[in-house]
Amino acid sequence: MSDGIRAEIRVDGPTGCPATRVVDETGTTAEDVTRAVSGDGDRVVEEFLLADPVGIDVGGTPAVDGDDAETTDSADKPTGPPDARAGDTGATADVTPTLVFDYGDHATYRFERERDVACPCEVVEAHDCPTVDVAIRDDGVHVTFHVPDMTDLQALVGDLREQFPSLDVKRLLRSTGDAGAHNLVFVDRGRLTDRQLEVLQTAHRMGYFRHPKGANAGEVATELDITRSTFSEHLAAAQSKLLDAILE
């Protein structure tokens, strides 16, 4: 049985990605985000599928052969997403996604950028893990990928969090080879304060959570040199954070 893990993470906040700017300005969702590295390895070409509601112009019109092609007055329309055309700063401020294929209710856009732009996909692929699915929604960039085991996942998540402190691990699935796959939950101990973690570790070590108890609240509080009420406050706060992570 494989120990492989399928992970979905979310990064909220600036990523330097032109597609993120488009989503922020139009209120739509970018799906099917794909990317290819240039032959010299210095640049990345990305495409994304975007719902193009009436009244939102997010790019120019591609050339279309045939008598049923619609004509537009390009002089009266902008040629890129609202703030991808002007007003942005950073390495991708001058990058304008261009329309490459129009499906009618959806359209595919493409842009080219330097590789040194902060991008969660770059971090994932640096760990030899291809991205399985990438979508950009109003709550951030969602990236799905596979890792061989939990050790690799922890290393990858650690590198991601260094660049993107807002990282949230949304879902983990372990490969079981059968229909009864179980959900994995990644609990970030960084959500606990040092004191909360110390309280949990001490209570666990002394058997506070066993039945029957190896130690009561007063004994654990004495070991920590804190009052019983302070112990209860720290324990409740820590348990609440852990339950939030498990039950979200």
pLDDT tens digits, one per residue of 5-57: 889 999 986 666 788 888 888 888 889 999 888 778 788 899 999 876 544 55
Is there a single domain that holds both residue 179 and residue 193? no
- The pTM of the full predicted model, rounded to 2 decimals, is 0.61
Residue 13: other Cβ atoms inside 10 A: 11
Domain-ending residue, one of 184, 216, 235: 184
Please determine, for residue 87, whether its predicted confidence score (pLDDT) is greater than 70. Answer: no
Domain-ending residue, one of 145, 166, 184: 184
pLDDT tens digits, one per residue of 100-130: 888 888 889 998 888 777 789 989 999 999 9
Is there a single domain that holds both residue 137 and residue 119? yes
Q: In what order do the strands lie in the sheet with 30-37?
A: 98-102, 106-114, 43-51, 30-37, 131-137, 140-147, 5-11, 168-174, 183-184
Q: pLDDT band for position 64 (50/70/90)?
A: very low
- Mean pLDDT within 155-179: 81
CA distance 83 to 27: 13
In the chain, how many domains are there? 2
Q: Which helix (H) or strand (E) holds 184?
A: strand 183-184
**pLDDT recorded at residue 180:** 53
- Mean pLDDT within 132-158: 91
Is there a single domain that holds both residue 237 and residue 115? no
Is there a single domain that holds both residue 98 and residue 205? no
Residue 185 · residue 245 · CB < 8 Å: yes
3-state class (DSSP) for residue 69:
coil
Is there a single domain that holds both residue 204 and residue 102? no
Is there a single domain that holds both residue 80 and residue 46? yes
**pLDDT recorded at residue 57:** 57
Is there a single domain that holds both residue 97 and residue 209? no
Is there a single domain that holds both residue 51 and residue 107? yes
Is there a single domain that holds both residue 64 and residue 135? yes
**pLDDT recorded at residue 168:** 85
Is there a single domain that holds both residue 20 and residue 141? yes
Domain-ending residue, one of 156, 184, 212: 184
**pLDDT recorded at residue 15:** 65
CA distance 102 to 109: 9
Share of the chain above pLDDT 70, in %: 74
- Which residue range is the domain that position 243 belongs to? 189-247
